[in-house]
């Protein structure tokens, strides 16, 4: 509880409101990811609350747990999902996160990220309509994003989804390396030899992280997290290093790149969104 109280004190105002209306917080001994957020439905599929799940290691006082590097190395096959020690390989990408005035930066970042998922669900940020698809066969759907949807800024306007609701968004044509990031669902791993090229490609997109490219929900949650952390005057920064301790990706430099017009448009969209007076928080 003390960890959560410390986090609450530094949250943006809209996130404090969301946090105060979270129905349940679940602490897990075993969890593939660091955390998650979801909506609680009744038996008639009506939303009746919200929950946040957190891996118990997130509260550990052990400063040697390099969780962000562990997560970044999953796609390269250099770390293991069920490793309780979050072991990393020195040859892989190493993430250094800095958030001043916050005692547990990793947990704070994760909570801001997960609360942003709830903000998304409550305000229908990632909105799209789907109809039965003749092209892709039975149980498949053609989908289109709603006008002014955040996802329109990064993804194709049209996509297809199967009956389980899994979204197929193809980056292979323009960014073949970036399309290989897989994190928790890897069938094959990226080549470590491509590591620096991968982050050079990322710096040319309007995504703030490799993880934000996995789904449009993660795109909003991660972009909103970076945006909000920069508005809180916490001197936030995130950099990724190679084994020679050289910076191969500077998120702040990418986020505020004056030559990246698509990134600027995304920042403006986020500013307009969070300055609304009518945002739902439960």
Across 57-96, b (16+ Cβ under 10 Å) vs e yields: bbeeeeeebbbbbbbbbbbbbbbeeeeeebebbeebbbbe
pLDDT digit string, tens, across residues 123-166: 989 888 777 766 555 666 777 788 888 888 887 666 666 544 45
- Span 219-251, pLDDT tens digits: 999 999 999 999 998 899 999 999 999 999 999
The model's pLDDT over 196-215, given as tens digits with 9 standing for 90+, comes to 999 999 999 999 999 998 88
Euclidean distance between the first and the last CA atom of the chain, given in angstroms as a whole number: 21
Q: Global pTM?
A: 0.92
Higher pLDDT, 111 or 59: 111
């Amino acid at each position: 509880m003390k960890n959560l109280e410390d986090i609450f004190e530094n949250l943006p105002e809209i996130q404090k409101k969301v946090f105060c209306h979270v129905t349940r917080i679940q602490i897990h001994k075993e969890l593939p990811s660091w955390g998650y957020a979801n909506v609680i439905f009744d038996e008639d599929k009506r939303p009746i609350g919200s929950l946040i799940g957190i891996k118990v290691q997130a509260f550990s006082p052990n400063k040697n747990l390099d969780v962000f590097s562990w997560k970044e190395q999953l796609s390269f096959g250099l770390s293991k999902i069920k490793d309780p020690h979050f072991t990393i390989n020195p040859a892989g990408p190493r993430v250094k996160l800095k958030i001043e005035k916050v005692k547990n930066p990793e947990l704070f970042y994760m909570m801001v990220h997960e609360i942003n998922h709830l903000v998304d669900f409550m305000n229908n940020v990632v909105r799209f309509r789907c109809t039965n698809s003749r092209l892709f066969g039975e149980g498949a759907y053609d989908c289109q994003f709603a006008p002014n949807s955040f996802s329109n800024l990064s993804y194709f306007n049209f996509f297809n989804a199967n009956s389980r609701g899994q979204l197929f968004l193809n980056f292979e044509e323009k960014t073949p390396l970036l399309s290989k990031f897989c994190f928790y669902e890897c069938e094959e791993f990226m080549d470590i030899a491509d590591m620096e090229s991968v982050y050079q490609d990322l710096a040319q997109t309007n995504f703030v992280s490799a993880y934000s490219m996995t789904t449009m929900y993660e795109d909003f949650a991660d972009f909103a997290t970076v945006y909000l952390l920069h508005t809180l005057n916490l001197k936030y920064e995130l950099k990724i290093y190679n084994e020679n301790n050289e910076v191969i990706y500077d998120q702040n430099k990418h986020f505020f790149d004056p030559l990246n017009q698509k990134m600027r448009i995304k920042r403006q969209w986020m500013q307009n969104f969070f300055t609304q007076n009518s945002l739902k928080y439960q």
